[in-house]
A = this chain, B = another copy of it.
Amino acid sequence: MTMIERVPGLVTDLYELTMAAAYYDNRMEGRAVFDLFVRRLPENRSFLLAAGLEQALDYLYNLEFTAEQIDYVRRHPSFKNVSREFFDYLADFRFTGDVWAVPEGTAVFGMEPMARVEAPIIEAQIVETFLLSTINFQTMIASKAARVVTAAEGRAVIEFGTRRAHGTEAGLFAARAAYIAGCQGTSNVEAGYLFGIPTFGTLAHSFVMLFDEEDDAFRAFLKVFPDTATLLVDTYDTLAAVKRLTEDFEADIPSIRLDSGDMCQLSIEARRILDEAGRSGTKIFASGDLNEYRIADLISRGACIDAFGVGTEMATSYDRPALSGVYKLAGLSRDGRMSMKIKMSPDKSTCPGPKQVWRLTSEEGKHVEDVIALADEDKSAEGAAWKPLLELVMRDGRPTDERLLSTDAGESNSAAARSAGCLARLNEARARASEELKRLPAELLSLNSETRYRVKFSERLAEEKRKLEEEITADCLFNLQEEANHRSHR
């Protein structure tokens, strides 16, 4: 028995592979354009912070199918009529497409493509599930974490949620997304090891309980962690423990942690006890079922808390635990001709053609409005205040950011070097997110904002959509008429 080894090639829904086989065996060719976007912002979210792109590119760049994986598909009961050539195709499969995407940490809104994939049909289809799963999840967490960080008004927020995340990988990437959104770090050690994210830890009730006396536990911990110990003081009686720390301990107490009870009152009392004992350097850290609303409430009531540990609610985006990003066909280019594509299902219609999102920023540096346009429209002609959001991040299957290729070049591949590289890129995304939070209209940052940021379609895009809808509706009416004639003649 060995730890499970993940199988990136098969991280896909079976229908991507049935469609791939049907495209292949029907000789459907051409280059497809797919948009990855969220139709409407979830309730309680007035913006999203895009995240997860690095993992998506990593997947695309490394995607392949091993002989054993192909054998699994070949033996699948649905695939018995599929040609042998399709499986040969899978054996040579690489993703060779182009990807345009908004950089991680960018604020995005409903209907705006976070990514646009342009690739041979089968390639573009097979990657749908992985891209959605990865970008939906990290974007959801970054967007939630931005709310928590905003509520903390400059106080540190540490991500604490792995134990309640949706499994250990979800914990890892929740830590990553939360860091992009402005958290100071995480308790997740793997995230520190792999991504270089600062890690923080305190101690648990079990540690205190294992000693005969609470103070013995405190002394034992301080002995080993004199500079960084955060002592959990609520195992028996919070304020009694704080008092003893000020009276019976000579050593500096770097910080204490409150984890239950009336956190506001306890923090004020604890601060008073500490300050009166000349321990103003001791920080107060709070944890325990926190979210953006409780943090805002604690701060508004004058709680004396220097840093917050936020777990479950942030690592699961508890109030909105799924982001309904979709991946929709927008066009097909065949024989040098691009045909636009839209879907007409009720409430689920889509928008045609390859797109770019343009953002207008005011002279004061505030974002004013976005325009979703066709990719060949150039709004920079209207002034330098318009900036395009989507960048070419992968060309012919290779990431355009050379740093993502560094192991190819034989550079140092130690864990420390890899994590330093990850951290450098993460810090760029984190700086971008921080900048975005300053540039967004202030009213969008209120926790209960009803304001919607203005997003428009360009005239050309709106016109293309209208034309296609008319064509399809005309077709449908024609078909219904034919149907009616047909029935009346029976």
Write the residues of chain A forming the contact surface with B, with a CB cutoff of 8 angstroms: 1-4, 6-8, 10-19, 21-23, 25-26, 28, 30, 32, 34, 55, 58-59, 61-62, 68-69, 71-73, 75-78, 80-82, 121, 125, 128-130, 132-134, 136-138, 160, 162-174, 187-190, 192-194, 199-207, 209-211, 220-221, 223-228, 234-237, 240, 243-244, 247, 259-261, 312-313, 316-318, 321-325, 327-329, 332, 341-348, 399, 404-408, 414-416, 472, 475-476, 479-480, 483, 486
A64 to B325, CA, bound (A): 38
**Contacting residue for A13 out of B77, B189, B316, B325, CB 8 A:** B189
Given known A1-B407, A2-B407, contact A243–B483 (CB-CB < 8 A): yes
Given known A12-B189, A228-B78, contact A220–B58 (CB-CB < 8 A): no
A329 to B347, CA, bound (A): 52
CB <8 Å contact, B316 and A164: no
Closest B-chain residue to A63, C-beta based? B3
7 contacts between A and B (CB under 8 A): A1-B406, A10-B193, A12-B189, A13-B160, A18-B221, A75-B416, A206-B341
A235 to B345, CA, bound (A): 5
CB <8 Å contact, B3 and A329: no
A81 to B312, CA, bound (A): 31
What residues of chain B lie closer than 8 Å to A260, measured between beta carbons? Answer: 345-348
Most buried by B among A133, A167, A225: A167
**Contacting residue for A22 out of B2, B8, B221, B405, CB 8 A:** B221
CB <8 Å contact, B201 and A1: no
What residues of chain B lie closer than 8 Å to A136, measured between beta carbons? Answer: 163-164
Closest B-chain residue to A403, C-beta based? B1
**Contacting residue for A206 out of B205, B328, B348, B486, CB 8 A:** B328
A7 to B171, CA, bound (A): 13
CB <8 Å contact, B235 and A344: yes
What residues of chain B lie closer than 8 Å to A483, measured between beta carbons? Answer: 240, 243
Given known A1-B408, A415-B68, contact A17–B201 (CB-CB < 8 A): yes
What is the total number of copies of this protein in its complex?
A: 2
What residues of chain B lie closer than 8 Å to A171, measured between beta carbons? Answer: 11, 129, 133
CB <8 Å contact, B169 and A78: no
Most buried by B among A189, A194, A247, A406: A189
CB <8 Å contact, B322 and A168: no
A205 to B206, CA, bound (A): 53
**Contacting residue for A203 out of B19, B62, B194, B342, CB 8 A:** B19
What residues of chain B lie closer than 8 Å to A121, measured between beta carbons? Answer: 210
**Contacting residue for A14 out of B75, B201, B226, CB 8 A:** B201
CB <8 Å contact, A237 and B58: no
CB <8 Å contact, A133 and B163: yes
CB <8 Å contact, B235 and A343: yes
Kindly list the 7 A-B residue pairs having the minimum CB-CB distance in the complex, ordered from nearest: A14-B201, A321-B321, A169-B169, A15-B201, A166-B166, A206-B329, A132-B163
What residues of chain B lie closer than 8 Å to A223, measured between beta carbons? Answer: 22, 25-26
Closest CB of chain B to A299's CB: distance in Å?
Answer: 22
Other CB < 8 Å A-B pairs besides A4-B58, A69-B415, A236-B472, 17 of them? A1-B408, A2-B407, A11-B172, A11-B189, A13-B160, A13-B187, A13-B188, A14-B187, A18-B224, A19-B204, A26-B224, A71-B415, A72-B192, A78-B225, A134-B168, A167-B170, A243-B483
What residues of chain B lie closer than 8 Å to A58, measured between beta carbons? Answer: 1-4
**Contacting residue for A225 out of B12, B81, B173, B204, CB 8 A:** B81
Closest CB of chain B to A95's CB: distance in Å?
Answer: 13
What residues of chain B lie closer than 8 Å to A261, measured between beta carbons? Answer: 345-346
CB <8 Å contact, A164 and B322: yes
CB <8 Å contact, A399 and B1: yes
**Contacting residue for A11 out of B28, B55, B168, B243, CB 8 A:** B168
What residues of chain B lie closer than 8 Å to A194, measured between beta carbons? Answer: 4, 7
CB <8 Å contact, A322 and B316: yes
A69 to B348, CA, bound (A): 47
CB <8 Å contact, A193 and B328: no
What residues of chain B lie closer than 8 Å to A200, measured between beta carbons? Answer: 14
**Contacting residue for A4 out of B25, B55, B160, B328, CB 8 A:** B55
Closest B-chain residue to A160, C-beta based? B13
**Contacting residue for A164 out of B190, B324, B347, CB 8 A:** B324
**Contacting residue for A1 out of B80, B328, B404, CB 8 A:** B404
CB <8 Å contact, B316 and A68: no
CB <8 Å contact, B345 and A205: yes
CB <8 Å contact, A190 and B1: no
What residues of chain B lie closer than 8 Å to A4, measured between beta carbons? Answer: 55, 58, 194
